[in-house]
Amino acid sequence: MNFTSFEFFIFLIIVYVLYLTVNHKLQNLLLLLASYLFYAWWDWRFLGVVLFSTIIDYFCALKIDQHDFRKHRRKYLFLSLSVNLLLLGFFKYFHFFIDNFILLFQKMGVQLQPSTLQIILPIGISFFTFQTMSYTIDVYRKKIKPTKNFIDYALFIAFFPKLIAGPIERANRFLPQIERQRELSVDKLKSGLLLIYWGLFKKLVIADNLGTMISYFSARNSEELTSALVWGTLYGYAIQLYADFSAYTDIARGTARLMGFELSHNFRNPVFSRNIQDFWQRWHISLTSWFTDYVFLPLATIKLKYRAIIPYAAIFFTFLLVGLWHGAGWNFLLWGGYNGAALAGYHFFKRKKNHQIKKKIARALPLGDLVAMAVTLNFVIIGLIFFRSASLARAIHCFSLILSNFSFGASEWDLLFKVAIYSAPLLIAEIFLAKNDNDISQFFRLPKLIRFGILYFMLFLLVVYHDGAHQFIYFQF
């Protein structure tokens, strides 16, 4: 059931009307059943995966809390993490590892038959397994007390607005919202509907149209590519990716807000990032913070002989895992390594004694912030060659074209012009949100004529430029 489908809006209306007519306890049960129906709509066979992970972690958390001895607590934590990582490893990475083992043995002269097992990836598995693991880890660290109410815990995992593609919520933030009585108001209704409306616009008008155009140029043979086409495709894909993923988050947050919930911000104007660290503090925030808390910090505090290099190695290794989280492929590992090396290098440079001097020089330069933002975004966008390319050979060829074969024909100008046109509304909205602390409800403070003019113009574009129903990009992760 896609957020942009007619079925979803019928589903949402029915759930919302029922939600308004029952008390708090029944609201939670209603939302849980609705969430399971929402997930089963994709493929009912994988509902068992969600339930299995939920049940295991619910009981493991209770057992961890019951024991004082670290040995027993670790046993149940190990069980929880093992189950989730095995589920994730089997469904998402089985073919990647098997195919690479077969290739390795073939290099050594041993012929093995490839696996004929066809494994379908359960949608959203990378998101809900990370959420369940964070819960048991936090209980183990005594940061939270486990809930004894199974319905509340199951809803924390399966709440349908965030189930498929996040944000990856933490128990200490989201469980209290489930346990207490939610307050509904006209302001929440208005801002929730606006978030949904803006998300639909970004998805259907910006992301989907750009996606169709980018796919056309990406499908060209390597010999037909020019530097301008590569750059135009990269810029277009970057905008498509941001519009698509942030659209999902906006619709999820808007839907949750209608029912009195507040989901986390997953993006905070990444287009205004001034360095690579700043970018990763603004992009896919719930994932970055998850890896920071549960992977990077434990690694960075390991006491070894060569302590000076530990933080940098921890950054690099963490981002290799971030890349692997996105997909089972060498291209994603290389993309993670690309960003990890850049972030480790940034932190190494930042610790130099002359950093403050360089910072003052940068501030003194004309348009220093704009230059920093341009350099950062172009660096990030170049890395998308790994993210987008279907093969390593294709990625290498695209890299070779970045600074060569500058020729501008009709195709190149047409691509760059359309990318600029589709970027414009997104950039205007980013400027508005950045000035208003990412509070979309500030839109209602604009003059009435401007508000309705914008809303009607968006509706016109939705009707005219709606390019059919496309899946969200992050569903594949």
Name the amino acid, one letter, at 125. I
Q: Cis bond leading into 114, ω under 30°?
A: no
Which structure tokens are listed for 143? 């940061």
CA distance 269 to 240: 15
**H-type helices in 204-305, by residue range?**
208-218, 227-258, 276-280, 285-291, 297-300
- What string of DSSP letters covers 364-427? HSTTHHHHHHHHHHHHHHHHHHHHH-SSHHHHHHHHHHTTS-----HHHHHHHHHHHHHHHHHH
SS3 (DSSP) at 281: coil
User: How far is residue 400 from each of residues 231, 261, 403, 404, measured CA to CA in Å?
Assistant: 12, 48, 7, 7
Q: Which residues are catalytic?
A: 326
- CB count within 10 Å of CB 269 equals 15
User: How far is residue 77 from each of residues 69, 93, 174, 284, 289, measured CA to CA in Å?
Assistant: 13, 22, 21, 26, 20
User: How far is residue 314 from each of residues 35, 291, 318, 338, measured CA to CA in Å?
Assistant: 37, 11, 6, 14
User: How far is residue 157 from each of residues 19, 36, 135, measured CA to CA in Å?
Assistant: 19, 11, 10
Residue 304: burial class (beta carbons within 10 Å; 0-12, 13-18, 19+): exposed
